[in-house]
């Protein structure tokens, strides 16, 4: 069992046949398992390497310095979130990770500037924030074209998602899974979960461990090559399409004991829409065989519910 590989350059091509082949391939993959490996994206290797270097420098800082950048009152949506704070939906054990959040860089929208928490600047590392912003923009640009392809697959106008993702509440999350020092009591580096958002773009993780649950119950290793992004459907898009496009459960398993001493780094980009986007099930995803499965809700309401479930926001 393998995850399909597609190339965004086919979609961006002047050749309409190539473009349609990309739309069909990514759509079928998302109906089947909800994951693809994507080549031809906008995040170049040099920028990716710079970001990983900056991320490693940040997580190597003393704990008291990192904790100065932690603000639980914003639900962990910006800045640092310390080890073990987040748990998967329905789990009591905290995941074996610490992470950072870069958020949206709002353009020409004072209302959304007030709504979103401000990004946090790490004064000890002068390149950390500028590199994070550059990577954020390239991943956001990539996500826009993936969503355009999915709009065509769903028989919607190609730019259907554009207005919802412009200044959307997207998050770039560098994650550090520290070395494991004692036998974990039921905890994984990241317990089995589905993502909240529209789509997630994962840069090639430095260390194996990501697994995807196929509908036959088997767990499949999802490993991106150096020039690929792993991109999966989140719960918002699954809900909006009446589960036509699958938000698949995935996890990050602990390594073999021989590798416990190694850190693992991973950098997902969670593409979110603006909070007022309606996630109501699309009419063309409802028929006699596929009755409407979800109640109407906005993206903002859904995100808030999930942050409470994850232990990042209080009731």
What residue spans define the domains of the chain?
Answer: 5-309
β-bridge pairing 5-7 and 35-39: parallel
pLDDT for 88: 47
pLDDT for 17: 96
Distance CA 164, CA 236 (A): 12
Reported confidence tier of residue 57, pLDDT bands at 50, 70, 90: very high
Distance CA 50, CA 60 (A): 16
Written as one string, the DSSP assignment of 247-300 is ---EEEPPPPGGGTT--EEE-EEEE---TT-B-PPPGGG--SSS---S---BHH
Measured in degrees and rounded to the nearest 5, phi and psi for residue 92 equal -100, -25
Residues 276-289: what's their mean pLDDT?
Answer: 95
**Chain centroid to CA 203: how far?**
10
pLDDT at residue 142 is higher than 50: yes
Considering only residues 225 and 52, tell me which one the structure prediction assigns the higher pLDDT: 52
pLDDT at residue 156 is higher than 90: yes
pLDDT at residue 206 is higher than 50: no
Three-state secondary structure call for residue 135:
helix
Reported confidence tier of residue 264, pLDDT bands at 50, 70, 90: confident
pTM: 0.90
Span 5-309 CATH architecture: Sandwich (2.60)
pLDDT for 222: 80
């Amino acid at each position: 069992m393998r995850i399909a590989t597609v190339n965004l350059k086919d979609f961006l091509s002047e050749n309409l046949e190539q473009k349609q082949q990309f739309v069909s391939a990514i759509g079928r993959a998302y109906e089947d398992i909800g994951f693809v490996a994507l080549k031809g994206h906008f995040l170049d290797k040099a920028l990716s390497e710079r970001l990983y270097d900056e991320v490693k420098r940040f997580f190597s800082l003393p704990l008291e310095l990192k904790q100065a950048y932690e603000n639980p009152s914003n639900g962990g949506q910006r800045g640092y979130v310390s080890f073990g704070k987040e748990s998967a939906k329905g789990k009591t054990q905290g995941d074996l990770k610490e992470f950072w959040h870069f958020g949206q860089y709002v353009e020409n929208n004072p209302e959304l500037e007030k709504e979103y928490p401000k990004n946090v600047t790490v004064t000890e590392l002068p390149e950390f924030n500028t590199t994070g912003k550059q990577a954020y923009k390239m991943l956001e640009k990539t996500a826009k074209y993936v969503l355009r392809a999915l709009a065509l697959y769903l028989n919607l106008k190609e730019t259907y998602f554009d207005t919802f993702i412009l200044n959307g509440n997207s998050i770039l999350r560098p994650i550090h899974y520290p070395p494991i020092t004692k036998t974990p009591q039921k905890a994984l580096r990241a317990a089995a979960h589905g993502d909240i958002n529209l789509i997630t773009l994962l840069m090639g993780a430095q260390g194996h461990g990501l697994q995807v649950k196929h509908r036959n119950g088997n767990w499949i290793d999802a490993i991106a090559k150096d020039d690929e992004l792993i991109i999966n459907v989140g719960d918002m898009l699954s809900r909006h399409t009446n589960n036509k496009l699958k938000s698949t459960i995935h996890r990050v398993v602990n390594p073999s004991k021989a590798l416990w001493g190694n850190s693992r780094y991973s950098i997902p980009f969670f593409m979110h829409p603006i909070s007022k986007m309606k996630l109501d099930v699309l009419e063309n995803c409802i028929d006699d065989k596929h009755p409407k499965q979800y109640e109407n809700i906005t993206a903002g309401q859904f995100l808030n519910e999930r942050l409470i479930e994850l232990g990042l926001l209080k009731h």
